[in-house]
Structure 1
Amino acid sequence: MAYLFPVRPAVVSVSGLILTGLICLAHPPVAVGADPVQHSLFAGSLIQPDDKDGDILRRFEVQLFSANQSHFFHVMDDTRHGCPWPDSFGRTGPTIGLESVQPHLVYDYNDHAYLIALPPLVVALPENIEPEATWEQAEWHMTAIEQSSLNSIPAWIVEARERRGRQQTLTVDAANGITLRAEADVFMGQGDQFKLTLARSSRVPLEPATSDKLAALQNELVTLQTTLKRRPDAHLSELSARQIADVAAVSDRLKSLAAGTPLEVLVRHIKLDLDQQQKRLTSIANRATKLLNSEPPPFALSLLDGGKLESETLKGRTVILHFWDYRDTPLSEPYGQTGYLEYLFNQKKHMNVTVVGVSTNPDLQSRENFSRGRRSARKLAEFMNLSYPVGHDDGTLLTAFGDPRETRGQLPLWIVLTADGKVAHYHAGYYEIDAAQGLKELETVLADLLKAK
């Protein structure tokens, strides 16, 4: 995962990753019965410059709902490859901290998932503003350039810079601070430069009844977002079983509140995604049921240090097989979970528990790219100080257990084998991390197995 500029906390260390929470406490609920909501719609583009007008890589829209100095956004990014719905909405504005989800895109460039923060939708213009006035907003240093107008709306041209050199040019409504137009520099890859543009296309007041429904809906959505506890660097749409249950519990209420409002499109997307995620969960559960208490076929792995690991040598031990790509670049989640897995390995190995990492990096199955794949896995193992063995085969072992990606799931895949070599646990995707207990669900599985010995 790579950040262009913070859209959540600017923290990327494994130990320092902060889960989003307390949003509702930090940003009080919008009062139902408040002033009518002003609905602004923005159109934007992510552009790769060329000799002409540039190549548009992504088009998107943003909704902004403003009332009583409170602002709520919804980013309508690419539904398949863009910002997942749980991270596409939230409170925004000059007083909202970076610990909250803020408007951003998700764009994949050269196998890296980039979180691209949008320019501020609302700017806190100083009182008695004059040209060359300066102030700070979030991590941006703002400078008023000159008075202007856009579509007969009095405005200020504002330049924004941050300490790493990125800059934005904003045209801001002089009356309310809402951005009318913006252009921002974006860098991805090895310093490749792109341009992001944003322009307000409409602004209309909503009917009082619609405003009341929206206020209640926004409160429900922010509460749900807090309950989900998504990672600060989340860029995939996959939800855990607990998160899916949390969404299902409020789905009907969201649908009722959203009916006839501009956020109905968001709630329809939530319901569609919920249906797909429930099907994925059912498919994984069915696969797990078939595998439980079965014996996998014998296997042999080529280890990163050049040795071999054969399944026969694991007999008599409780084994955790962890299927993941084990690449050092792009260094994206769930790489941090290997750190928790290493900790678990060191805590449990005296109980005859072992961990085996199985790299699914396609490079390791290619004669031309084999050296690159092994080098990448070694770098990751060194970076994470992994002492458990990591190996690979030709993909046969993953196929035998069932690749979750074939049923809309995601790696990693976690398999726990009993001491007599039978499958005791099958889990596809991330584990939710408990700050105090790490891989709590996996710890519970192991505890039950060891207790039953």
Structure 2
Amino acid sequence: MHTLLLLSALVADPGIESLTYQGELSQVERGQQTAVVKEFTAECFLSEQAGAVNATTLIQESTSRLPWAELVTWQSSVNTTDLAPAFGYRHMEKLYAVTGMFPLLASPEPLQKGLEWKSGPGSFEVVGEEMVGDVKCWVVESVTGPARKHQIFVQQDRPVVERLKQTVFMGQGDRFELTLQRTKSEVLPAESATKTLNAMLHLQAMKESLERDPYDRTADITPQSTAVAQEQIEELMASVKGTRFENYVASISRDLGNRAQREMEVSELRDKFVGQPAPSFTLTQLGGEPVPAEDLAGKVVVLHFWTYQEKPLEQPYGQIGYLDFLATRFRDKPVTVLGVAVDNRLGTPESRTAVVRSIKRLTSFMKTGYEVTLDTRNALNQFGNPTRLGAELPLWVILDQSGTVVHYHSGYYEIDNQRGLKELDELIADLLEK
């Protein structure tokens, strides 16, 4: 049964227990732990129904945070496919979602010494029992990949993790150790439990409506998801009032407000440029020569301002794969697609070589065919530079055959399964028919 339905069935008897965990992430070098590089707190709300234990987990972290939609997760002890709680850690300039094997450990049958089972890529074995504080626990050893060995201490009377020691790898085989310990537990009073259950139901309904990609938990909240959340935020704030989710939802509300303000300012910037002749700008080819004016004259021009760095490389890679698909589709038409690399190192010839080398490695890896140029003369600023408003690259600008700006968009597009960047595809096709 779906976790949301299980929770719904509990409304008449909402016995809920709150567990608090303290977690630390340490990097391991030459077999020895170094200093702790990340600390976080997790509060889990447990309920039981029809022999299953259900858990709602809220992660609290202050640095390198994951998008707010990923800080709350739902699990059931009878479902091994539920998303585990995760926290963010930035390593080698890349944000990782580090998942923890808690607060529940699903197994095919009740734990006992000698029990072995497999789940996905992982193998599990109950190797013994041990007291953790005053709690009797089963000691479960797990292997989820090469050198990925973990110890999970599970309460003997229920499938709840008491302590955890987990191996994590990031970057190019850099090893970390995640340790976790339950530090507190309390049964919520009936009134508080009822409010908490209502809050969890509303939170889960909103998260499901966002349709997040479960395989890309570091992805930013999309404009489409932002719009969905804005429609629900007032009702959600009312539902969490007086619960331990109140501060979390208040942070969501602040983020949505900031995004709305930023979108309004970017919209004003868009209105300033669209319908007007493009400002004077110059782009530089990777070899150092300016892009010839005849490459742009009388053509539909697509400008894609982005970092074009090979590292850190994170999905969706500036959507350059979809842009390349678009460029290929119109390669026999009077259409010029130009990537524009934006990088502070372009300001000096000494560091420019490293930028060009990085661009070439990226385009080779991604197998892109359109030309990537350098913004050495502040072309991004000529087009308003929405990053000054807190918006993120890429910036997409389309000029028609007369050099007029007809499209201006900051951020990512929704992708059509058949046509990729459908909005741009349709716009270019319309311009070519004129």
Task: Answer yes or no: same fold by TM over 0.5.
Answer: yes
Aligned mates of 1:236, 1:258 — CA distance in 2:
25
Q: Letter of the 1:184 partner, please give it.
A: Q
> Would the aligned equivalents of 2:3 and 2:76 in 1 still touch at CA under 8 Å?
no
Aligned mates of 2:80, 2:301 — CA distance in 1:
44
Aligned mates of 1:384, 1:48 — CA distance in 2:
31
Structure 1 residues 407, 174: closer, same or farther in 2, change over 3 A? Answer: same
Structure 2 residue matching 1:146: 3-state secondary structure? strand
Q: Corresponding residue for 1:334?
A: 316
Q: Corresponding residue for 2:59?
A: 75
CA RMSD after TM alignment: 2.6
The within-5 A match list for 1:175-194 is 175-194=157-176
Q: Corresponding residue for 1:84?
A: 67
Q: Corresponding residue for 1:9?
A: none
> Would the aligned equivalents of 1:300 and 1:311 in 2 still touch at CA under 8 Å?
no
Given the alignment, which residue of 212, 220, 229 partners 1:247? 229
Q: Which whole-Å deviations, capped at 9, do the CAs of 1:279-327 have from their partners, x for residues lacking one?
A: 1111111111111222333333222366541345312111111011112
Aligned mates of 2:120, 2:57 — CA distance in 1:
17
Structure 2 residue matching 1:420: 3-state secondary structure? coil
> Would the aligned equivalents of 1:157 and 1:170 in 2 still touch at CA under 8 Å?
yes
Q: Letter of the 2:216 partner, please give it.
A: D
Larger displacement relative to structure 2 (80-89 or 255-264): 80-89
Structure 1 residues 387, 213: closer, same or farther in 2, change over 3 A? Answer: same
> Would the aligned equivalents of 2:283 and 2:379 in 1 still touch at CA under 8 Å?
no
Structure 1 residues 281, 384: closer, same or farther in 2, change over 3 A? Answer: same
> Would the aligned equivalents of 1:299 and 1:310 in 2 still touch at CA under 8 Å?
no
Q: Corresponding residue for 2:7?
A: 30
> Would the aligned equivalents of 1:224 and 1:247 in 2 still touch at CA under 8 Å?
yes
Larger displacement relative to structure 2 (260-269 or 138-147): 138-147
Structure 2 residue matching 1:177: 3-state secondary structure? coil
Q: Which whole-Å deviations, capped at 9, do the CAs of 1:39-91 have from their partners, x for residues lacking one?
A: 1111111123579974222211112122122222221123x621110111121
Aligned mates of 1:429, 1:305 — CA distance in 2:
28
Q: Corresponding residue for 2:119?
A: 137
Given the alignment, which residue of 15, 18, 24 partners 1:45? 24
Q: Letter of the 1:76 partner, please give it.
A: Q
The within-5 A match list for 1:319-398 is 319-335=301-317, 337-394=319-376, 396-398=378-380
Structure 1 residues 119, 418: closer, same or farther in 2, change over 3 A? Answer: same
Structure 2 residue matching 1:309: 3-state secondary structure? coil
Given the alignment, which residue of 269, 280, 283 partners 2:251? 269
Q: CA deviation at 1:128?
A: 5.9
Aligned mates of 2:137, 2:267 — CA distance in 1:
56
Q: CA deviation at 1:196?
A: 1.4
Aligned mates of 1:409, 1:141 — CA distance in 2:
44
Q: Work out the number of aligned pairs and report it.
A: 426
Q: Corresponding residue for 2:144?
A: 162
Aligned mates of 1:30, 1:110 — CA distance in 2:
40
Larger displacement relative to structure 2 (127-136 or 177-186): 127-136
> Would the aligned equivalents of 2:80 and 2:119 in 1 still touch at CA under 8 Å?
no
Structure 1 residue matching 2:284: 3-state secondary structure? strand
Are residue 316 (structure 1) and residue 295 (structure 2) matched? Answer: no
Structure 2 residue matching 1:296: 3-state secondary structure? coil
Q: CA deviation at 1:336?
A: 6.5
Q: Which whole-Å deviations, capped at 9, do the CAs of 1:222-273 have from their partners, x for residues lacking one?
A: 3322322334324254431x22221111011111110111111221111111
Q: TM-score, normalised by structure 2?
A: 0.89
Structure number with greater CO (CA < 8 Å, separation at least 6) is: 1
Aligned mates of 1:176, 1:97 — CA distance in 2:
16
> Would the aligned equivalents of 1:364 and 1:374 in 2 still touch at CA under 8 Å?
no
Q: Letter of the 1:90 partner, please give it.
A: T
Are residue 280 (structure 1) and residue 262 (structure 2) matched? Answer: yes
The within-5 A match list for 1:188-207 is 188-207=170-189
Q: Corresponding residue for 2:382?
A: 400
Given the alignment, which residue of 37, 40, 47 partners 1:57? 37
Given the alignment, which residue of 271, 292, 296 partners 2:278? 296
Structure 1 residues 233, 206: closer, same or farther in 2, change over 3 A? Answer: same
Aligned mates of 2:263, 2:293 — CA distance in 1:
29
Q: Which whole-Å deviations, capped at 9, do the CAs of 1:81-116 have from their partners, x for residues lacking one?
A: 211101111212454455x54311221112122221
Q: TM-score, normalised by structure 1?
A: 0.86
Structure 1 residues 129, 94: closer, same or farther in 2, change over 3 A? Answer: closer
Structure 1 residues 385, 126: closer, same or farther in 2, change over 3 A? Answer: closer
Aligned mates of 2:176, 2:23 — CA distance in 1:
13
Aligned mates of 1:331, 1:94 — CA distance in 2:
35
Aligned mates of 1:26, 1:209 — CA distance in 2:
22
Larger displacement relative to structure 2 (25-34 or 315-324): 25-34
Q: CA deviation at 1:218?
A: 2.5
Q: CA deviation at 1:171?
A: 1.3
Q: Letter of the 1:196 partner, please give it.
A: L
Q: Corresponding residue for 1:258?
A: 240
Aligned mates of 2:15, 2:43 — CA distance in 1:
16
The within-5 A match list for 1:111-126 is 111-125=93-107
> Would the aligned equivalents of 1:147 and 1:156 in 2 still touch at CA under 8 Å?
yes
Q: CA deviation at 1:125?
A: 5.0
Q: CA deviation at 1:364?
A: 3.9
Aligned mates of 2:102, 2:341 — CA distance in 1:
41
Q: Corresponding residue for 1:66?
A: 46
